[in-house]
Structure 1
Amino acid sequence: MKEVLDFLKENKVFYLATTSGDQPHVRAMGFVMEYNGKLAFCTSNQKDMYQQLTLNPNVEICCVAANYNTLRLCGKAVFCTSAETQRKALEVMPALGKMYAVGDGKFEIFCLDDAQAVCQTMSGEKKTLAV
């Protein structure tokens, strides 16, 4: 998991895909943390992404490094929102405090279950990473 977490943090922006019906939606993300041995992310329950995740929790994330190595990560979003997860998220990325607060009724945290990650180089070499 450390290698996946480091890749996402080092490259700062990654893209998370959800679906609404049969329409895919991709958005840029920048927050990730480890929580109870899983990758965790955040959103607002007032965003379309939250609604999409509640209807279909299957997601895929893609991140590209400066050397063009690509990380593809898929899994199932499981909400784990609590005061503890919200506090930890705000510690990891204090800038989130401009949008969210612990117990504000909109700040949601989700972890990835059944996560699988593959890193691929520009030459096509693939490596499965532990998540």
Structure 2
Amino acid sequence: MDEVLKFLTDNPVFYIATVDGGRPRVRPFGFVMKYEGKLWFCTNNQKNVYKQLRENPYFELCTASPDRKWLRLKGRAVFNSTPQAKAKALEVMPELKAMYSADDPIFEVFYVEEGEATFYSLTGETRTVKL
């Protein structure tokens, strides 16, 4: 998990894909943290991505590094927006405090279950890790 977290933080814009009415939807994300032994992300419950993940919690994300390696992560989003998890997110990325607080009802955090991350390179090497 630490290697996945490092790749995502080293390449801080990653793209999360969800399903909306049977069609793919992709958008950039930039927050990730490790908390309670899990990989966490955040959004707000006014956004379509939240509604899509509530309807179908399976997602994939992808990002690439400048040296032409990339990561694909798939899993199931589990929302657990406790004040403690939100506070940890605000600690990890203080910039979020401009938009949210730990008791903000629209601020949502979720962790990955059934996670599987695959690292790729142009040389054809792949390696998969379970989260």
Which 4+ residue blocks in structure 1 deviate beyond 6 angstroms?
A: none
- Identify unmatched segments of 5+ residues in structure 1: none
Q: Which residue matches 2:41?
A: 41
Instruction: Determine if contact 1:86/1:108 at 8 Å carries over to the other structure.
Output: yes
Q: Which residue matches 2:22?
A: 22
> What is the alpha-carbon distance in structure 2 between the residues aligned to residue 65 and residue 130 of structure 1?
21
Alignment partner of 1:8: what SS? helix
TM-score w.r.t. the length of structure 1 is: 0.97
Instruction: Determine if contact 1:16/1:26 at 8 Å carries over to the other structure.
Output: yes
> What is the alpha-carbon distance in structure 1 between the residues aligned to residue 8 and residue 129 of structure 2?
13
Give the CA deviation at 1:52. Answer: 0.3
> What is the alpha-carbon distance in structure 1 between the residues aligned to residue 66 and residue 79 of structure 2?
31
Aligned-partner residue type, residue 37 of structure 2: G
Aligned-partner residue type, residue 8 of structure 1: L
- Identify unmatched segments of 5+ residues in structure 2: none
Instruction: Determine if contact 1:3/1:129 at 8 Å carries over to the other structure.
Output: no
Aligned residues: 131
Aligned-partner residue type, residue 32 of structure 1: V
RMSD of Structure 2 on Structure 1 (CA): 0.8
Alignment partner of 1:16: what SS? strand
Alignment partner of 1:109: what SS? strand
Q: Which residue matches 1:92?
A: 92
**Aligned pair 1:12/2:12, yes or no?**
yes
How many percent of aligned residue pairs carry the same amino acid?
Answer: 47
Give the CA deviation at 1:130. Answer: 4.1
